[in-house]
Amino acid sequence: MINPGEFQNNLLLLVTTKMPYGKYNGFLICDLPEYYLVWYRSKGFPEGKLGMLLASMYEIKLNGLEYLLKPLKTK
């Protein structure tokens, strides 16, 4: 089970981490289009922290929870 502090830190990473390569190089993870995340889901997310962030953003967009990130983007 993830602890609350780690959960909050991961949400902050979604609004501060930029995609390091590819078509959306330099885009914040939270700003990646849904179709790109769906493509990654079908292809397989990369290993490590980036893969975890992309998978998390996919689930957030899939479930319509983007509003959770809006207050964090303004900080």
List, for residues 15-58, the tens digit of each pLDDT value.
Answer: 999 999 999 999 999 999 999 999 999 999 999 999 999 999 99
List, for residues 57-72, the tens digit of each pLDDT value.
Answer: 999 999 999 999 999 8
Where are the alpha helices (H) located in the chain, listed in sequence order?
A: 4-16, 34-43, 48-62, 70-73
> Which residues, other chains included, contact 11 with Cβ-Cβ below 8 Å and sequence gap of 6+?
68, 69, 72
Structure tokens at 26: 């330099």
* pTM for the full predicted model: 0.89
